[in-house]
């Protein structure tokens, strides 16, 4: 299924293809603060369709994940592996998808604090 989503102001928009069969709530310091519910997909299944100069990035700790955010409204619509090459993943913030019934999505807890 094709999903569309983006930030609050609309300057960052994306499409993602896949079956949304669950999301992860991570307890690391950044995910807790931004309240993200993450859906992991192959990076090749995420297509950013609008960003201009508004797509910022943030890394911390080991720098394994690049957290993306809109520089205008501050919303974090997705993150992605920082590595290069095939096999990379994207982590879509399900809260930023259009027309999704969040109550129907199974949520899995992940101990990112200890990872």
CATH number of residue 27's parent domain: 2.170.150.70
What is the reported pTM? 0.91
**Cross-strand partners of 84:** none
**Residue 49 maps to a domain:** yes
CA distances from 28 to 8, 33, 56, 61, 112 (A): 23, 9, 20, 11, 5
50-75: per-residue pLDDT in tens?
Answer: 987 889 999 888 888 899 999 999 99
Structure confidence at residue 19 as a pLDDT band (50, 70, 90): very high
Q: CA 34, CA 84: separation in Å to the nearest integer?
A: 26
DSSP state of 97: B
Structure confidence at residue 9 as a pLDDT band (50, 70, 90): very high
**Residue 31 maps to a domain:** yes
Mean pLDDT of the chain: 92
> Count of domains in the chain?
1
């Amino acid at each position: 299924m094709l999903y569309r989503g983006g930030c609050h102001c609309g300057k960052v928009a994306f499409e993602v293809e896949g079956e949304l069969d669950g999301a992860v709530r991570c307890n690391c310091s950044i995910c807790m603060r931004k309240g993200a519910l993450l859906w992991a997909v192959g990076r090749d299944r995420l297509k950013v369709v609008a960003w201009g100069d508004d797509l910022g990035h943030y890394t911390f700790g080991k720098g394994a994940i690049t957290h993306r955010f809109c520089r205008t409204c501050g919303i974090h619509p997705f993150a992605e592996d920082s590595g290069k090459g095939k096999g990379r993943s994207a982590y879509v913030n399900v809260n930023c998808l259009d027309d999704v019934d969040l109550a129907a999505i199974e949520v899995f807890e992940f101990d990112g604090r200890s990872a």
